[in-house]
C-alpha cells in the first residue's frame, strides 16, 4: 500500500489499516531512512520509525495477528571488527539509529511475540541504493572514490523478502520463536570491495579506495556493520545469502528493463 493508504507520519493511520484487514501476518517494511536528514527531522523520523511501528504491533496484538518488523545495524555503535550479535548492547550514534532502536522497543513492548529482523546495506533494482548510485556515477565517470574503511554484508532486498516470508509461514504454522534476529548477506566486504564487484559486472569505471575522512557526511557511518546471523540459521534454517549472487540477479533485472 502507498502513503495515501497508510501515512505513517499520522498517528493511527497504519493501525487503522491493520484493524480493517483480514491479514494473518503483517510485515512492516516501511521506515524513515534518510540518515543525514533525520538529524534535523528527528521528530518525524521518530514518528515513522518508532511510534507507528508500536501502533502496528499493538493492533496486531489486539487482533491476534503476527507482526514482523525490519530494523537496522545502525542501532549499534559500529565499532570494533567482530560481527554484532543480538545480545550485544545497542548504542546508536545517530538520530536514525536512535529512532529505529526506539521502534524495536515499542514493537516488543506492544507485541512480545513479534519478530524483528535487523539487516544492513540493502540493495535492489528498485528505489535508491548503493548499487544504483554506483551505476549512475559509472555512466558518466571513468573513476569513482569509494570508502574502503567501512565494512558490512550487502543484502539483496529479495533475499530479505524471502526470509520474511519463510518466517511468516513458520509463525502462522505455530512457531514459538520471537524477538530480534540478524540477517544480512555474506561475505563481509568494504564499500569499495562492493563497488569493485559492481563494476566487474558493468565494466568501464575504476574504483579509487578512500577513507571515511575523505568522504565527510553530516552523520558518521558505522565502520563495522557486520551482523552475526547464527541465531536465525539455528532457529529458522536461514543462512546468510551470498550477495554476489543477488548482485548478478539485480544486474540482469536492470538489463531486462532497459
pLDDT, tens digit, for every residue of 32-64? Answer: 999 999 999 999 999 999 999 999 999 999 999
From the CB of residue 53, how many other CB atoms can be counted at a distance below 10 Å?
31
Burial zone of 228 (CB within 10 Å; 0-12 exposed, 13-18 middle, 19+ buried): middle
pLDDT, tens digit, for every residue of 150-181? Answer: 999 999 999 999 999 999 999 999 999 999 99
Q: Can you tell me the distance from the alpha carbon of 186 to that of 151, in angstroms, rounded to the nearest whole number? A: 11
Q: Evaluate whether 186 touches 153 at the Cβ level (below 8 Å).
A: yes
Set of cell numbers at residue 200: 566487474
Set of cell numbers at residue 242: 551470498
The pLDDT of residue 258 is 65
Burial zone of 33 (CB within 10 Å; 0-12 exposed, 13-18 middle, 19+ buried): middle
Q: Can you tell me the distance from the alpha carbon of 76 to that of 88, in angstroms, rounded to the nearest whole number? A: 8
Query: Confidence class of residue 1 from pLDDT cuts 50, 70 and 90?
Result: confident
- Helix (H) or strand (E) holding 209, with range, is strand 206-210
Q: Which of 32, 74, 96, 181 is catalytic?
A: 96
Q: Evaluate whether 215 touches 150 at the Cβ level (below 8 Å).
A: no
The pLDDT of residue 59 is 97
Q: How much is the average pLDDT of 199-216?
A: 95
The pLDDT of residue 49 is 98
Percent of the chain with pLDDT over 70: 100
Q: How much is the average pLDDT of 200-205?
A: 95
Query: Confidence class of residue 196 from pLDDT cuts 50, 70 and 90?
Result: very high
Query: Confidence class of residue 243 from pLDDT cuts 50, 70 and 90?
Result: very high
pLDDT, tens digit, for every residue of 74-132? Answer: 999 999 999 999 999 999 999 999 999 999 999 999 999 999 999 999 999 999 999 99
The pLDDT of residue 164 is 98
Task: Output the average pLDDT for the chain.
Answer: 96
Catalytic residue at 32? no
Q: Evaluate whether 229 touches 184 at the Cβ level (below 8 Å).
A: yes
Q: Which domains does the chain have, with CATH numbers?
A: 13-256 (3.40.50.720)
The pLDDT of residue 35 is 96
Kindly report the pTM of this predicted structure: 0.96
Amino acid at each position: 500500500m502507498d502513503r495515501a493508504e497508510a501515512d505513517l507520519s499520522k498517528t493511527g493511520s497504519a493501525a487503522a489499516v491493520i484493524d480493517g484487514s483480514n491479514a494473518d501476518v503483517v510485515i512492516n517494511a516501511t521506515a524513515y531512512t534518510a540518515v543525514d536528514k533525520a538529524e534535523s527531522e528527528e521528530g518525524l523520523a521518530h514518528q515513522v520509525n518508532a511510534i507507528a511501528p508500536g501502533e502496528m504491533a499493538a493492533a496486531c496484538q489486539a487482533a491476534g495477528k503476527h507482526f514482523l518488523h525490519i530494523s537496522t545495524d545502525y542501532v549499534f555503535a559500529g565499532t570494533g571488527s567482530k560481527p554484532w550479535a543480538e545480545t550485544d548492547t545497542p548504542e546508536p550514534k545517530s538520530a536514525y539509529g536512535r529512532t529505529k532502536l526506539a521502534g524495536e522497543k515499542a514493537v516488543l513492548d506492544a507485541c512480545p511475540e513479534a519478530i524483528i529482523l535487523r539487516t544492513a546495506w540493502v540493495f535492489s533494482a528498485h528505489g535508491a541504493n548503493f548499487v544504483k548510485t554506483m551505476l549512475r556515477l559509472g555512466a558518466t565517470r571513468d573513476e569513482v572514490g569509494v570508502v574502503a574503511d567501512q565494512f558490512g554484508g550487502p543484502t539483496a532486498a529479495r533475499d530479505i523478502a524471502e526470509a520474511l516470508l519463510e518466517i511468516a509461514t513458520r509463525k502462522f504454522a505455530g512457531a514459538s520463536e520471537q524477538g530480534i534476529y540478524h540477517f544480512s548477506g555474506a561475505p563481509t566486504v568494504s564499500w569499495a570491495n562492493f563497488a569493485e564487484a559492481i563494476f566487474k559486472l558493468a565494466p568501464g569505471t575504476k574504483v579509487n579506495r578512500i577513507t571515511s575522512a575523505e568522504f565527510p557526511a553530516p552523520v558518521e557511518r558505522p565502520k563495522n556493520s557486520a551482523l552475526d546471523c547464527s541465531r536465525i540459521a539455528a532457529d529458522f534454517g536461514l543462512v546468510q545469502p551470498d550477495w554476489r549472487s543477488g548482485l548478478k540477479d539485480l544486474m540482469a533485472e536492470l538489463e531486462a528493463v532497459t
